[in-house]
Structure 1
């Protein structure tokens, strides 16, 4: 059992289409769950990983691969089904007992929607922190900004590749760590 000084930070990559035009018969599917832990006592960010997910309601197209770097071949080699990914998160992170966070509300809403649609138990607790909103509030800003701009605003470097779930989760964790200090 984890102590309450741990917050899980996630970032999803999902199937996407140019100009957000979702083809008939397809739905947005999670294809990567980037996740890491932030220990608010020690300030350490750890257990960073990417969990690749097999899309069950859509296909990965060229636009999506160019944006995320995730290819159908990668998913074929490393992907697991969404239900297995949820079980893995529950088992490895004790996620149902922890507060979790993401940069914006997309990640939370997509997890909830996909769990509902596929009849899978949500692996996360009710306690969610919208890091984008907290960043805006912390800095007294009137409008939201993306992850890279937020890091830049706080004089932090983006580490890794943008639109890599694990790297985006790690960078969101850096912002949250700063806000919580």
Structure 2
């Protein structure tokens, strides 16, 4: 694999339920892929975008909308199917050659789970970096801390809206540029 000075950073928003009580017959579905590219040399963050996804195995409820700001109407207007989103990501970000990262394991695992469920190839490489873990390791902390607390630790303010995939990906990229 060729080495590159760029990384893809993602943050997913997914269908969710109060107290994590998933209704019978429903599964966690990605409803937004926030994505951006981080240049490790210049530390420039580019191509920040939200890709809204039509959930195929569950529905967006009030709790989920309150947390993420994503409504069924927004998905109706701007949503595309997950498979289309994967093709778009491959074409626009050329992701197969880059290491990709997310804050925690959920993003990497959920992409893999949803690709497996659809029988499609992941748009991303095998090289996933858990930024939460890297942050803990970098500062020799006893336990992992959340995205907003990690920014505070670095004396940085959160930019944008928390639980917006694009904003969370962007802020994750800001953290990564500080610790790499």
Scaled by the length of structure 1, what TM-score is found?
A: 0.97
1:93 aligns to 2:93 (yes or no): yes
* Shift, 1:120, TM fit: 1.6
For 2:167 and 2:33, the matched residues in 1 are separated by 11
For 1:5 and 1:85, the matched residues in 2 are separated by 24
Partner of 2:56: 56
Partner of 2:109: 109
Give runs of aligned pairs for residues 122-137 of structure 1, distance below 5 A. Answer: 122-137=122-137
Calculate the aligned-residue CA RMSD, in Å: 0.9
Partner of 2:176: 176
Q: For 1:114-156, what per-residue CA distance to the aligned partner results, in whole angstroms no more than 9, with x for missing partners?
A: 0001112100000111100010011110101110011001101
For 1:13 and 1:139, the matched residues in 2 are separated by 27
Partner of 1:153: 153
Scaled by the length of structure 2, what TM-score is found?
A: 0.98
- How many matched pairs? 179
* Shift, 1:3, TM fit: 6.6
Mind listing any 5+ residue stretches in structure 2 that lack a counterpart?
none
